[in-house]
A and B are shown apart, each in its own frame.
Chain A
Amino acid sequence: MSTNPNSFRNQPDERGHFGAYGGRYVAETLMPLILELEREYRAAKADPAFEAEFDDLLEHYVGRPSPLYFAPRLTEELGGAQVWFKRDELNHTGAHKINNCIGQILLAMRMGKTRIIAETGAGQHGVATATVCARFGLPCTVYMGATDVARQGPNVFRMKLLGAEVVPVTAGAATLKDAMNEALRDWVANVHDTFYIIGTAAGPHPYPELVRDFQSVIGREAREQMLSRTGRLPDLLVAAIGGGSNAIGLFHPFLDDSSVKMLGVEAAGHGLDKEHAASLAGGRPGILHGNKTYLLQDDDGQILEGHSISAGLDYPGIGPEHAWLKESGRVEYTSATDREALEGFQLLCRTEGIIPALEPSHAIAAVTKVAPTMDKDQIIIANLCGRGDKDIFSVAEHLGVKL
């Protein structure tokens, strides 16, 4: 990692702070474990055998590198910059989530942990966690809001097929935030043998850092692929943001390439003046789930429910590194509404023969706005972080189609 004081790539500091954000806001019971995790992660990072095993699994089990694909018909339709996609939807399990799960389960086994827990919203992280648990033969418990269990039936079934126990959480609004609370409660009661695989680049230090590092394979590959295909760097990176793990994974390896602009796209739901899940646009700094970051909250610091058509973006917070990147000005953040995401979804189906998940459909929506304002010799890379098979039922419902 760079020691250049002007680098954007040397966060967090030794206490896990990204500027004013991040940190370790957890109950005392978890603190010793978090410190142990950090020590073990430092050791793993310095261990070539750990890296070799991670790389080997990514290549032969996940199917990396994922392609970098130039989208000719979408580019023509938008009439501006060239649009390229990083095809992480082609990974095993259909999304970028698996990259992180591979890394964390290797860490868990290195620490001698024998039981895995996870939280999930849409179910993609739950499926990816259940997958790696089956692969390595570890018991897996996935906490999922009861509301999400009801609306994500296929993923619940997938997790069960993979041998995971899916625990519906009825507390609160019974969505991702409540699932995370319940996973933390399980963890605090089972610290001796349990590893918590957090699905996004948030939570207490060192999670935001290690999730980012495991997901940075996306940006490292994209950078090499773009250089070898075109001999140059892209002009703009675009990625959707819930917690922000696919976005930080794409952005981080490019942060010190000053010519590369970056755009993170939050979920504006019904609109920023209505129900949404855009923590940077509509929230303010606060403390939840072990880190300080932008949160949707009321004047008393009570956490508000997020809303998005995409269950994967439906979280009232955002990873702390994004909070810092926003304030430093290095990354620009915008948002896309449910309606715009649905339009992006259909556009990609129609022009490129790719059915995207609703999460990257938000990135596509942003691309449709920004590409026409750019020159034809400029290049955009958008992160296609998940495929849309899981979403066809909810998309049909929103389009008024009965299946």
Chain B
Amino acid sequence: MTRLSAAFSKGRPALVTFVTGGDPTPDATPAILDALVEGGADVIELGMPFTDPMADGPAIQAANLRALAAGTSTADIFRIATAFRARHPDVPLVLMGYASPMVTRGAQWFADECAKAGIDGVICVDIPPEEDAELGPFLRAARISLIRLATPTTDAARLPAVLEGSSGFLYYVSVAGITGMQQAGLASIEAAVAKLKAASDIPVAVGFGVRTPEQAGPIAKVADGVVVGSALIDLVARHGTDAAGPVRELTRALSHAVHESRKADA
């Protein structure tokens, strides 16, 4: 069983957390990642900073720019990932970002580096199934999950193409929009997740606009996982190199809400 499938096979929903690598500095990121693990996150998404994060809202845009201003390079991201893998042999680590930094030295190079660093999966925001050849075959050959996004605009006709060649989990973007803004209605999330689950066995994690334990809990009842990013990034923005403590606290509250969500009814 891969680390990712183990994370979604614990008999309870999974908490997936996102922070941008190198924010506020490359040296500060390891402690923030540790805080996510200590707080109970089941999957860690590490953002690769990019100059032009066009699918992201103001919070993650600013995080990308802070990371780049601190001199964060792709080599730093892989160094952070390699060290994380050494400290946390069992916690799945996913790289999330944009195509340009991923393919700029060639997709083979990127897949090799991911494999060496112990990366479990990759989410590339701007490579849809139509352009899969750019990156997908290289990741699959290196046994790294390509995690695709499904959105409210992904209709039944497209869904098979989205699922084809994807693994690990499916990231359901619950609102048509950018990260960190409004939250979708629970009923629409439940209906969308049901459709996705009917089409595939792959776990479905729901994200975009989920900020608090109160929001995360109800979503966890209907999905296999909940993704939280911007709310954690806001803490990094506020506390800078001292962010690990506040990040651990919020993650703990989120993981409690997500992990216990289905017990509340029992």
Please, which residues of chain B bring their CB within 8 A of the CB of A191? 153, 176
Summarize A's interface: helix, strand, loop or mixed. Answer: mixed
Q: How far is the CB of A202 from chain B (nearest CB, A)?
A: 14
**A residues 31-52 touching B (CB-CB < 8 Å):** 31-33
- Is the CB–CB distance between B61 and A302 below 8 Å? no
- Is the CB–CB distance between A185 and B54 below 8 Å? yes
- Is the CB–CB distance between A286 and B104 below 8 Å? yes
- Is the CB–CB distance between A189 and B176 below 8 Å? yes
- A289–B53 alpha-carbon span in the complex (Å): 10
- A25–B54 alpha-carbon span in the complex (Å): 12
Measured CB to CB, the nearest residue on chain A to B149 is: A28
Task: Check: A396 CB closer than 8 A to any chain B CB.
Answer: no
Task: Check: A120 CB closer than 8 A to any chain B CB.
Answer: no
- Is the CB–CB distance between B104 and A297 below 8 Å? yes
**B residues 183-234 touching A (CB-CB < 8 Å):** none
Please, which residues of chain A bring their CB within 8 A of the CB of B158? 31-32
Task: Check: A139 CB closer than 8 A to any chain B CB.
Answer: no
Which of B125-133, B136-144, B242-250 contacts the other chain?
B125-133
Question: How many residues on B have C-beta within 8 angstroms of the other chain's C-beta atoms?
Answer: 44
Q: How far is the CB of B169 from chain A (nearest CB, A)?
A: 15
Please, which residues of chain B bring their CB within 8 A of the CB of A309? none
Interface mask (A168-193 → B, CB under 8 Å = 1, otherwise 0): 00011000011011001100110110
Task: Check: A273 CB closer than 8 A to any chain B CB.
Answer: no
- A302–B151 alpha-carbon span in the complex (Å): 27
- Is the CB–CB distance between A189 and B100 below 8 Å? no
**B residues 152-189 touching A (CB-CB < 8 Å):** 152-155, 158, 162, 173, 175-178, 181
Task: Check: A26 CB closer than 8 A to any chain B CB.
Answer: yes
- Is the CB–CB distance between A26 and B126 below 8 Å? yes
Please pick, from A33, A172, A299, the residue contacting B65 in the complex, using a CB distance under 8 A.
A172
Q: How far is the CB of A128 from chain B (nearest CB, A)?
A: 23
Task: Check: B18 CB closer than 8 A to any chain A CB.
Answer: no
Contact A303-B176, Cβ < 8 Å, known A24-B131, A28-B151, A32-B154:
no
Interface mask (B112-134 → A, CB under 8 Å = 1, otherwise 0): 00000000000001111011001
- A184–B56 alpha-carbon span in the complex (Å): 10
Please, which residues of chain B bring their CB within 8 A of the CB of A27? 54-55, 125-126, 128, 149, 151
Task: Check: B52 CB closer than 8 A to any chain A CB.
Answer: yes
Q: How far is the CB of B15 from chain A (nearest CB, A)?
A: 23
Measured CB to CB, the nearest residue on chain B to A303 is: B51
Task: Check: A72 CB closer than 8 A to any chain B CB.
Answer: no
Contact A181-B52, Cβ < 8 Å, known A27-B125, A27-B149, A288-B100:
yes
Task: Check: A320 CB closer than 8 A to any chain B CB.
Answer: no
Contact A172-B126, Cβ < 8 Å, known A28-B150, A32-B153:
no
- A30–B152 alpha-carbon span in the complex (Å): 10
Task: Check: B84 CB closer than 8 A to any chain A CB.
Answer: no
Please pick, from B54, B125, B151, B173, the residue contacting A289 in the complex, using a CB distance under 8 A.
B54
- Is the CB–CB distance between B55 and A188 below 8 Å? yes
29 A–B contacts, CB within 8 A, in A order: A24-B130, A24-B131, A25-B131, A25-B134, A27-B55, A27-B149, A27-B151, A28-B151, A31-B130, A32-B155, A177-B52, A178-B52, A181-B54, A184-B54, A185-B54, A189-B177, A192-B176, A286-B100, A287-B103, A287-B127, A287-B134, A289-B54, A290-B126, A299-B104, A299-B105, A301-B103, A301-B105, A302-B100, A302-B101
Please give 15 more A-B residue pairs, beta carbons under 8 A apart, in addition to A287-B98, A290-B126.
A25-B131, A27-B54, A27-B125, A28-B128, A28-B150, A28-B173, A29-B153, A29-B177, A172-B52, A188-B177, A286-B104, A289-B52, A297-B100, A299-B105, A300-B73
